[in-house]
Amino acid sequence: MEVINENYILLSFEFKEKKLGKLEQFYVSLMGDKDYYNDLNKLKKKKIEFFDVPKEINEKFIEAIKKKHGKELDKKTKYFFPIDFSVVKRVVHTYEVERYKDGKLFIDEKTGKAYTKRRFVNKPPGYIALYKYMGPITYINDFLSIVKENFMKWRTQNNNIFSDFNFIKIYLSSELDYLDEIINHNLFTVHLEFKNVKNTDPNDFRRALLGEKRKYKGELKSFNPNVRELVKNRFLKIIKKNANSAKLDEKTTFAYPIEFSIIKRPIILYKTENGTIKTSSRATGVTFLYKYMGPITYIDFFKNAIKEIFKEIIESNKLFQKVNEPLLLIGAELSAYEGY
């Protein structure tokens, strides 16, 4: 398919086995945050590596357009504009531990069983970076080629920070309201920014968006709201209203979760007396990816279901009232587009 109104670029990075890069290094490099990089180096004895990705892409893009089209682009424009950097979280249940009270095993009165608490391992397997293309739409194909070629090249260079990744996936997307024609688009991105980072738990959004249950007093309870179930039910309702003859298996997971990540914006806290640098990477929001698993002929209905549900829960649900207006995107892997 052709690029129509897509101008958001999402990059998904997954580490090679046993690799775990430094969050600060990838944050400053992928976001091109030179100010934060300089602040860190004023305090740290050993400098972290800095590879200014937006600057590199911008320079190569400007050079390519001049050479291919004879057009001089404004060198001050950030054509590869960084929006957010996030850390992928895949929570893995490992074991349960018993809970004691006053030295005695705590027994749940309702079930008569020993109360246990789950422990999890959630070592981050990678990162996600979200950008917006800020140049002329006539040159977007040139721009996307440069993004793809350079990230694939950097990943194979042993001396480059991106060589730690097993793969780098590139997704091209548009805001739901601005894509005129849906062809093979099947990836939905939900980008939520917290209003108050101190009083918001990203794990609540993981449960809501994934539709996970929560263990409470020894029992699994459905989390409220269950966004996946709400979207599914609204989708089926819209289908029934607009396409009565459609026969869909209601057991199908139409919104299949691809990735959940926590947005990080690192800040320096202070330097202790013994010289240790204290930094913070407090969660400032979440980015979530769904893959539509239904018939492509009904993708427009599914898009409408997502828009309606998020509009409603932002207005009425206590949890989602903690976030700003959501950024809802629809797109596909870059390989689905012509020439890639």
Q: Are residues 165 and 258 in the same domain?
A: yes
On whether residue 175 sits in a domain, the answer given is: yes
pLDDT tens for each residue of 139-150 = 999 999 999 999
119 and 133 in a single domain? The answer is no
Q: Do residues 161 and 109 share a domain?
A: no
> Tokens 């972290």 map to which residue?
48
Does 146 reside within a domain? yes
Burial pattern 309-336, b for ≥16 Cβ within 10 A else e, equals bbeebbeeeebbebbeebbbbbbbbbeb
pLDDT at 214: 74
pLDDT score for 304: 95
Task: Give yes or no: residues 115 and 237 share one domain.
Answer: no
Number of domains in the chain: 2
User: Which of 65, 98, 123 corresponds to the end of one domain?
Assistant: 123
CA dihedral 153, 155, 156, 161 (to 10 degrees): 120
User: How many other CB atoms are there within 10 angstroms of residue 230's CB atom?
Assistant: 21
The answer to whether residue 95 scores a pLDDT higher than 70 is no
The reply to whether 181 and 268 lie within a common domain is: yes
Using the predicted structure, report yes or no on whether residue 75 has a pLDDT greater than 90: yes
Residue 39 reports pLDDT greater than 80: yes
Sign of CA dihedral 15, 84, 300, 256: positive
| pLDDT at 37 exceeding the cut of 60 | yes
- Greater confidence (174 vs 5) lies with 174
Give the mean pLDDT of 248-264.
Answer: 90
The CA–CA distances, whole Å, from 185 to 130, 176, 283, 336 equal: 18, 11, 29, 8
Residue 69 inside a domain? The answer is: yes
Range of weakest confidence among 56-60, 124-128, 287-291, 318-322:
124-128
Q: Of 104, 123, 142, at which residue does a domain stop?
A: 123
Burial class (CB within 10 angstroms; exposed 0-12, middle 13-18, buried 19+) of 180: exposed
Separation of alpha carbons 94 and 221, rounded Å? 19
pLDDT at 320 over 60: yes
- Residue 168 is predicted with a pLDDT of 93
Residue 3 lies in a domain: no
**Contact (Cβ atoms closer than 8 angstroms) between residue 80 and residue 58:** yes
- Is position 180 within any domain? yes
> Is 186 part of any domain?
yes
Give residue 170's pLDDT: 97
Q: Residue 85: pLDDT above 90?
A: yes
pLDDT at 92: 62
Which tokens hold the place of 321? 């009232």
Confidence band for 280, pLDDT divided at 50, 70 and 90: confident
Please give the model's pTM, rounded to 2 decimal places: 0.86
- 283 phi and psi angles, rounded to 5 deg: -65, 130
Range of the domain at 27: 8-89+124-336
pLDDT band at 266 (very low <50, low <70, confident <90, very high): confident
Residue 43 has pLDDT above 60, yes or no: yes
Average pLDDT over residues 37-59: 86
pLDDT digit string (tens) for 110-140?
776 665 555 555 678 899 999 999 999 999 9
Do 98 and 209 share a domain, yes or no? Answer: no
Q: Residue 222: what pLDDT? A: 78
The pLDDT of residue 191 is above 80: yes
Note whether 163 and 232 are same-domain residues.
yes
Which residue, 301, 322, 304, 300, is CA-closest to 313?
322
2, part of any domain:
no
Query: Can you give the chain as a three-state secondary structure string?
Result: CCCCCCCEEEEEEEECCCCCCCHHHHHHHHHCCHHHHHHHHHHCCCCCCCCCHHHHHHHHHHHHHHHHHCCCCCCCCCCEEEEEEEEECCCEEEEEEECEECCEECECCCCCCECEEEEEECCCCEEEEEEEECCCHHHHHHHHHHHHHHHHHHHHCCCCHHHHEEEEEEEEEEEHHHCCCCCCCCEEEEEEEECCHHHCCHHHHHHHHHCCEEEECCEEEECCCCHHHHHHHHHHHHHHHHCCCCCCCCCCCCEEEEEEEEEECCEEEEECCCCCEEEECCEEEEEEEEEECCCHHHHHHHHHHHHHHHHHHHHHCCCHHHECCCEEEEEEEHHHCCCC
* d(C-alpha 124, C-alpha 192), whole Å: 19
Question: In terms of domains, do 183 and 208 share one?
Answer: yes
Scan for tokens 């709400």, then name that residue: 230
The listed range with the strongest mean pLDDT (17-21, 98-102, 264-268) is: 264-268
Q: Exposed e or buried b for every residue in 287-299, given b needs 16+ CB within 10 A?
A: bbbbebebeeebb
Same domain, 179 and 237: yes
Of 103, 123, 143, the one marking the end of a domain is 123
The model's confidence at residue 99, banded by pLDDT at 50, 70 and 90, is low
Does one domain contain both 67 and 181?
Answer: yes
Same domain, 239 and 303: yes
**CA trace torsion 211, 212, 216, 222 (10° rounding):** 30
Please indicate, yes or no, if residue 1 is contained in any of the structural domains.
Answer: no
- Residues 256, 237 contacting (CB under 8 angstroms): no
Q: Tens digit of pLDDT for each residue in 218-253?
A: 677 778 899 999 999 999 999 988 877 667 888 888
Say if residue 170 is in the same domain as residue 197: yes
